[in-house]
Amino acid sequence: MIDIGIAAVVAAVLCIQAAAPFEQDAIPPDWRAYGTMVLIGGALLFRRRYPIGTLVASLLLLMAYYFMGFGAVGAVWPLSAALFNVALFGRWRSAVVFAGGFVVSSSAWRLIFEPEGNTAAVVSDILTDISLATAVILAGALITNQRQLRAEIRARSVAVAAEKEAEARSRMSEQRVHLAREVHDVVAHALAGIGVQAHLAEEIVDTDRDEARKSIRAIIDTTNDAIGQLRETVGSLRGAPTAPPVPPSLRDLVEGVVGVDISYNSQGDVTTIPDEIDRVVRAVVREALTNTVRHSGATEATVTLMRDDHVVGVQVADNGKGGTPVEGAGIKGMRERVAEVGGTLTVGSRDEGGFVLTTEIPI
């Protein structure tokens, strides 16, 4: 409907323009003149699919109008709608070529065949045609540029929104991984200790009730500590102003493990380790000791913390059954923790039996 309305308005304006001028040597407008103007307007019905074709058809119809001898209606004015349309569809260079060619041709024709007394009027008409062609082509090009700019802004907004959504999904995924790792570390360590204490209490409950009570108390303490750490973890993910759960010190970890005789050694100045690295080291040792208690069958283990000017290292070795280490959730979580601070973690069997875990983190 819009195109029909545009075509009708242009045709009506051109018909009025054709009826207005009266030249003594020109043929008065008749049905052919008005029909040609209507066809020029009607060509705009195809402006979307064939913008260049619409301009060419309009140009040929205007030339036919003049060849039939009717009065002047201008060189560019009847073509202004088609020129604007071509520029509107991004073909402004083609519009310039067509407009320039027709203005030059019609101007040359008038300068050669018009009487000399009308030269000033011819030059004025040429300047008017050039100005009108420039105006309609620039208008179409500017509207096209505005549309393209708005489209780019919309596309950029969509891309930014998609990027933000992807970042949000990535953060959610990282939070889930973080939560899974923290819960695994806390629960696995607590269950390992609870299991050992429960077995011990079961064995001595009839022979040494005091020691059995100590084991039960240790189970209660371990459970309460695990619940507290889980609350801190969930609270930090909910945005509560709580610090990430910090594992106990290495000495407390060593002293709190039951079922395996564990010794602790340190080399270098281990009192000034950066907090981020210290937290990772303690989490790795906690998981390594949990694995030792649950899976290795070891009776003895050694934890060695080393530090020099460039590297913090920790080694956990046991005298268990050894074999090929299985890359489960525990080892994977330790490896991820160490990688986050730029370190490396290796797990393997010892020649003398048992497993050894070694971590090196640059300072």
Give the chain's domains with CATH numbers: 2-154 (no CATH), 249-363 (3.30.565.10)
Is residue 170 classed exposed, middle or buried when 0-12, 13-18 and 19+ CB atoms within 10 A define those classes?
Answer: exposed
CA 4 to each of CA 31, 34, 43, 354, 360: distance values in angstroms, whole numbers, following the listed order: 21, 18, 10, 89, 78
DSSP label of 348: E
Predicted model pTM: 0.47
Spatial distance between the Cα atoms of 75 and 110, rounded to a whole number of angstroms = 11
Q: Contact 282/248 with Cβ under 8 angstroms?
A: yes
215: left (phi > 0), else alpha (psi -120 to 50), else beta?
A: alpha
Task: Tell me the β-bridge partners of 345.
Answer: 359
Spatial distance between the Cα atoms of 237 and 347, rounded to a whole number of angstroms = 31
CB atoms within 10 A of CB 250: 20
Could you state, in chain order, the average pLDDT of each consecutive group of 10 residues for the chain (363 residues)?
A: 82 82 72 88 86 87 85 80 86 83 77 62 77 86 89 90 86 74 70 70 73 74 73 64 57 75 87 86 86 81 90 91 76 87 90 88 90
- The tokens for 219 are 């189970």
- The tokens for 21 are 């001028």
pLDDT at position 251 = 78
pLDDT at position 42 = 85
Residues sharing a CB contact under 8 Å with residue 225, sequence separation 6 or more, in sequence order:
190
CB atoms within 10 A of CB 266: 15
Spatial distance between the Cα atoms of 171 and 59, rounded to a whole number of angstroms = 61
pLDDT at position 162 = 87
pLDDT at position 241 = 46
DSSP label of 355: E
CB atoms within 10 A of CB 71: 20
CB atoms within 10 A of CB 285: 26
Helix, strand and coil in the chain, % to nearest 5: 65, 10, 20
Q: Which residue has the tokens 């998609």?
A: 162
